[in-house]
Amino acid sequence: MERRGAGLAALGALGRRLLWALPAYAAGLLGLGAGALVLALALYAGLGAARGELPAWVSFPDVERAEWLNKVLAQAWPFFGQYMEKLLVENIAPSIRASNTHLQTFTFTKVDMGEKPLRVLGVRAHPGTHKKQILLDLNISYVGDVQIDVEVKKFFCKAGVKGMQLHGMLRIILEPLLGDVPIVGALTMFFIRRPILDINWTGMTNLLDIPGLSSMSDTMIMDAISSYLVLPNRLLVPLVPDLHEAAQLRCPLPRGVVRVHLRGARDLRSKDRFMGGLVEGKSDPYAVLRVGTQVVTSRVIDDNLNPTWDEVYEFIVHEVPGQEMEVELFDKDPDQDDLLGRMKLDFGEVLKARVLDKWFPLQEGGQGRLHLRLEWLSLMSDASKLDQVLERNRTIVAKPDPPSAAILVVYLDRAEDLPVSGGPGGPGLPVPCSVGSEMCGAPPDPPLSLQMKKPGKEPNPMVQVSVQDVTRESKVVYNTSAPVWEDAFRFFLHDPVNQDVDIQVKDDPRQSSLGSLSLPLARLLDSPELTLDQPFQLQHSGPGSRLYMKLVLRVLFLDAPEDGGPPPTPSGQPDPPATTGSTHRPTHASPDPQFGTEHVLRIHLLEAENLIAKDNFFKGVVRGRSDPYAKVRVAGRVFRSRVVKEDLNPRWNEVYEAIVDNVPGQDVEFDLFDKDIDKDDFLGRCKVPLRRVLSSRIVDEWLPLEEVKSGRLHVRLESLAPSPSTALLEQVLHTNSLLQPARGEELSAALLSVFVDRAADLPLRKGSKPPAAFASLAVRDVSVKTKTCTPSAEPVWDEGFSFLIKRPHVESLELQVKEEGGQPLGALSLPLPQLLASEGLALDGWFPLAGGGPGSQILLRAQLGVLVSQQAEVGAGSVSLAGGDAAPQPAEAPGEECGTGGLRQRLLPADSHPEPAEGPLGRLQLTLWYYGEERKLVAIVHACRKLRAVSKELPDPYVSLVLLPDRSRSTKRKTSVQKKTLNPDFNERFEWDMSLEEASRRKLEAHVKSTLSFMSREKEVLGKIHLDLAQVDLSEGGTHWYELRDERSSP
């Protein structure tokens, strides 16, 4: 009995698995395509999700993996291939042959969809906007081995596709739901956002050589294919005959319109450089705004890093949330335009806010920001607000086009009894007058081609729909006098009271008129729901020629309170608080006494010695080493060093920074581990009391490792107290560049402390309810936020925050006040140079919030403190060394990247000392310094000036360094080559590992050379210097100009 029961269970399991293949088998048996099969299964899942009557074994999270659907797709894929072959050969190929006279011999020679089916990575089923609609979002991925070959025999051209990838979110709409089989009237598919499409073309060059296609490129073809799949384009698959809603389903009424005010941008990157990059220019920015297939481009602003456009554009929105606007900023160049930054915004945020006016940070744009004002315009089905809309639009200064007051959607269904050539009422014959017609009698003679056409031949009608100077064209329906188009067109209307819609029905090959119609839009304003749905008698056509159309007009209304305030600008000094009746507001923030008393702890993790070997082999017979790394814990922060492979005496030379306060009981803890594949081994720990570092300022020690047999760790801890003075800021920046390790983040130059006190007059939620607000603050990629207050238009936070500042001259504080759900209530951008220019490096008071209400403000205190290290203090008081004229180099532009051969260095202002006078062969500027913590000799090659040209052409100079007496590769260094200049700038850093005693015994020889030609290995020496390092105070360091001497001169 047990065996019999087990056998029945096995047969039942096999039967259940065979049932999965039954739908695919039935589809092939009945000759159905994969579309019907997928529709049925998707409908089952969608209806079940909508009703909530799913089987017990199904668990639908927000997104379902739907592996069952992938199994079905794999089984049905061969049938889909059969359908695609039939579609391409019988439908697509004839259309291609008819589209171009040069493609009349176009054929598909091979259609193979391959063995790799499309995969659905996730499915989300949710109800639609009404009861007769179900939405499915499918995250699809197709990496296929498809092969499609085509041939144009006339030109002996063969091309095709061999492999394709498609990735994106496909929305499928099941609509309308019917009370009879097949339950669903139509299937609509589209991508909300442009999918990722990659096609491997074969023979594309040959195909593009065909006349009529030579102006295209493979990129243009890819763009066209991608755009065809993206909103507002939709692929409609009717599942029932005579579907009357086909045009409305293919082009439904939009959800709304977003009006975008492109205000301006600031702090864009400079992309234009001259003289091989020596002279930095500006940029010529312009913006490209993209919403699906809707793309607009702004005008170009020449030579401006802070452009102002003040242009207005309008975009039709179909799906929200989901549809996004992408803005890209470019620098206009003669060849290829450079990207200045980009940003994306989901229109769902605009719908929630109704009006969104703010500065948006640019991705890949450095510190750049873009100022946009976005307004959500609702579609009204009555004209009660039209006068109000027109009055408001007159106050808007809009370029390049005036603002729209309404949109018009024309649903073009079909026509009947169009005239045929030589038939009654056809072209070339008198046209009967209709009642009210202003024109009667015979039209002008038709063209010769039409006169030669055989009498009674059916026309190829198409329709042109025009509103003012915008014209849309329908598809061409061939050889019929009763065409069915089922097409739709959208128009923006500036003044629907005085505008008309003009319609021309034409015979496509000859563009001869088959009839026309002109309809004043004021007629729609008097119609119910601003809609006309009826047949229209065509003028200048046959007596029974009618055009069946539906015209829908919608008024664009901004359903949001007018703020009346100026657009947000980068905030300057705080505004005085607004006075409101009896409400008393403080004029300054009131932080607690501990605010701004933090220190910055700089931790130099240098090296370790005599660590334990944890990597042993052959059960300990062969002793290996360790792969040590360190974890540093302080003030709630954890830092982890890199792993040094197979070394019991590792050198890390890494620097970490943390903001600390003087709370007793805190320690700086160091834990060392050996990195292993499975579990890391413990190598020891040690700690230093934080209060000891704060009191003594510097702790530089070898610390013995605890809980292990051997090992010690060398660390240098320095406490940096913020100073409210800019006197040593440039020296701090210069010293940080010298101390900057090869790995790790840039050292901080200042500490920003911000106390957020309160806000006032925040905009109310939904017109009357106060918001539950919080504030978020960000500097670079570091962001924090306050608590969320109870609902109030005047929330009080009383919270302080601190940020490490790397470059005070270019960074800024970004603050946003938001509602608990994330809706913005106002924003503030505070550039730190304003703090540098303020007394005591502090600003305290009320600041206006951009994008909030007319009186929205925030009360805060922001103060900056410069972090002066011991090396910076010593450097500020050092004197020039003998052997050269001290002259610091001009400060490097912020954000300049490292060059070939070493790190770029931030240098001192050019007005500190004048540049030296010209020598016989020119001058070379060097910094020489011994970095004791790293035990390295450091040389920075800054620049050369007034080099002597030895030929008519300018040299391509570079500097080579060598430490004598050795002339081996380990002692040689070389800068990058600067092209065609007598005044090159290098700013490159080089290092040699050695002790201070060994460095003092060395001599440094620097040669300024020029490459003779691209093909030659010979170098031309422009001059040299020879320095005895025993005569240089390497412990202090210094930057000096050295006069170049002739190569033949003695040292």
**Kindly report the CA angle at 125 between 122 and 130, in degrees rounded to 5?**
150
Q: Using 50, 70 and 90 to split pLDDT, how confident is the model at 541?
A: confident
Tokens 């060398």 identify what position?
Answer: 714
- Yes or no: say if 575 and 848 are a contact pair by the CB < 8 Å rule: yes
Rg of the chain in Å (alpha carbons)? 38
Each residue's pLDDT tens digit, 112-149: 888 888 888 888 776 666 677 788 888 888 888 888 88
Structure tokens at 156: 């002996």
Strands 106-112 and 972-974 turn out to be unpaired
Summarize pLDDT for 397-424 with one digit per residue, the tens.
Answer: 777 788 999 999 998 888 999 988 654 4
pLDDT at 592 exceeding the cut of 90: no
The single-letter code of the amino acid at 474 is S
3-state secondary structure of 192: coil
pLDDT-wise least confident of 216-225, 764-773, 854-863, 876-885: 876-885
What pLDDT shows up at residue 25?
46
| pLDDT range class, residue 742, cuts 50, 70, 90 | low
What mean pLDDT comes out for the span 637-645?
91
Q: By mean pLDDT, which of 98-107, 462-471, 655-664, 742-751 is the weakest?
A: 98-107
SS3 letters across 297-311? ECCCCCCCCCCEEEE
pLDDT digits (tens, 9 = 90+) for 972-1029: 888 888 888 888 888 787 888 888 888 888 999 999 998 765 444 567 888 999 998 8
Tokens linked to 276:
């091989």
What pLDDT does 224 receive?
58
In the prediction, which pLDDT does 204 show? Answer: 57
The answer to whether the beta carbons of residues 481 and 417 sit under 8 Å apart is yes
Mean pLDDT for all residues in the chain: 77
Sign (positive or negative) of CA dihedral 166, 167, 171, 172: positive
Q: What is the mean pLDDT of residues 540-566?
A: 80
Task: State residue 829's pLDDT score.
Answer: 92
Structure tokens at 961: 């360094």
Residue 336: per-residue pLDDT: 81
From residue 491, give the alpha-carbon distance in Å to each of 254, 315, 449, 558, 574. 12, 11, 34, 19, 45
For tokens 């999270």, the residue is: 61
Identify the CA nearest to 653 among candidates 974, 938, 970, 904.
938
Output the pLDDT for position 146: 86
Q: Is the pLDDT score of 33 beyond 80?
A: no
